[in-house]
Structure 1
Amino acid sequence: MSQLEQAAKAVAEVFFKYAGQDAKKNKLSTEELKTLMQKEVTSLKGVEADVTKMLKCLDDNKDGEIDIVEFGTLVGILANGYRK
């Protein structure tokens, strides 16, 4: 498996670890996104992120939840911070 495929698999595993802790297995609610950000995005430790605003920005179809494609936008933003 290539480095990119491994990274995509890791992103999917993290997404699905937190998605569906409530009724919907394939989407992140506001609370699930908040938990994911607190536990998985260690560079934001100690920073109070406004998850509600973040969800609104990422939520392309305006259903109030984040699917894996919308989550990809967040991953892209995070990845941009690692540019050399």
Structure 2
Amino acid sequence: MSQLEQAAKAVAEVFFKYAGQDAKKNKLSTEELKTLMQKEVTSLKGVDADVTKMLKCLDDNKDGEIDIVEFGTLVGILANGYRK
């Protein structure tokens, strides 16, 4: 498996680990997104206050939840921060 495929698999595993905490297994609620950010993006400070804003920005279809495609936007933003 290529490095990119491994990274995509790891992103999917993290997404579904947190999306699976309630009845909707394929989407992140606000609380699930908050938990994911607190546990998986430890370099960020002040996540609590920003999760609602983040959800609104990422939620393209405005259903109040984040699907894996919308989550990809967040991953892209995070990846941009690691640019050399």
| RMSD value, Cα | 1.2
How far, CA to CA, are the matches of 1:78 and 1:13 in structure 2?
A: 17
TM-score by structure 1 length?
0.94
Describe the SS at the equivalent of 1:14. Answer: helix
List gaps (5 residues or longer) in structure 1.
none
List gaps (5 residues or longer) in structure 2.
none
Describe the SS at the equivalent of 1:10. Answer: helix
How many residue pairs align between the two structures?
84
Describe the SS at the equivalent of 2:43. Answer: helix
Describe the SS at the equivalent of 1:72. Answer: helix
Superposition misfits of 4+ residues, deviation over 6 angstroms: none
% same residue: 99
Residue by residue over 1:5-34, the C-alpha shift from the partner in whole angstroms, topping out at 9 and shown as x without a partner, is: 000000000000000311100000000000
C-alpha change, 1:28 and 1:7, in structure 2 (3 Å) is same
